[in-house]
Chains A and B, each alone.
Chain A
Amino acid sequence: EVQVLESGGGLVQPGGSLRLSCAASGFTFITYGMSWVRQAPGKGLEWVSAISTSGGSTYYADSVKGRFTIFRDNSKNTLYLQMNSLRAEDTAVYFCAKGTQCDYWGQGTPVTVSS
């Protein structure tokens, strides 16, 4: 059974940092690109970032470019999102999704940026 389990969310002050993790199982992780998508409270889905199978290619939404970094550890079947210089508008539930077409989603981890 495919599973992706996000963790690492929480409350952080503006300007702070947070690292999200996504533990994958039930599929051959190294053969899939991976994605992060977020959803602000009461709002729609916003694509955030994606990464290729090897990690050699990464892609970002303009809203997070230069502040967020996506990377993966294929030996641990884990995807990460390093979030720096956080802003109030980054407050959202962050979902990890399998593939660059987001074919399977986790339950999400909430991130709140507030003083």
Chain B
Amino acid sequence: DVVVTQSPLSLPVTLGQPASISCRSSQGLVHSDGNTYLNWFQQRPGQSPRRLIYKVSYRDSGVPDRFSGSGSGTEFTLTISRVESEDVGVYYCMQGTHWPRTFGQGTKVEIK
């Protein structure tokens, strides 16, 4: 199985400042169809997960443009350009190229 490793696991941030989360996979995520299926999810306290980013860098509908995804191969990053209070929660990456799908451990974002 593909192992997905996130860092850091805890991320205290200052409001208005940038934040970045790293996601590394044990195998390359380029699918045979040429796409790289790396997704990012946000789970706010007490809520269901919500997908933010798909195929590394495409924002889902309604996702603020302060969220961006980047990366290739086995290393990927989620960046929040200016953290707002509503961004508090746990963020997960998930590789969607190989079976079984696998999630990272999650990164808890909190306000300092």
Contacts and interface: CB of A to CB of B under 8 A. Distances in A.
A103 B48 contact: no
Interface string B36-61: 01010101000011110010000010
A44 B101 contact: no
B76 interface: no
Interface in B76-112: 90, 92, 94, 96, 99-106
A100 B37 CA distance: 10
B60 A103 contact: yes
Nearest to A47: B101
B33 interface: no
* Size category, A interface: 20 to 34
A103 B101 CA distance: 14
A83 B60 CA distance: 32
Contact of B96 (A60, A101, A105, A108): A101
A102 B94 contact: yes
A50 B102 CA distance: 12
Interface in A36-73: 37, 44-47, 50, 59-62
Contacts of A62: 1, 100
A75 to B, nearest CB: 27
A48 B37 CA distance: 18
Nearest to A60: B100
A14 interface: no
A102 B48 contact: no
A102 B105 contact: no
Contact of A103 (B43, B54, B92, B104): B54
A70 B102 CA distance: 18
B100 A61 contact: yes
B48 A100 contact: no
Interface in A97-115: 100-108
7 contacts: A45-B49, A46-B103, A47-B100, A95-B48, A104-B51, A106-B48, A108-B48
Interface of A: 35, 37, 44-47, 50, 59-62, 95, 100-108
Interface of B: 1, 37, 39, 41, 43, 48-51, 54, 60, 90, 92, 94, 96, 99-106
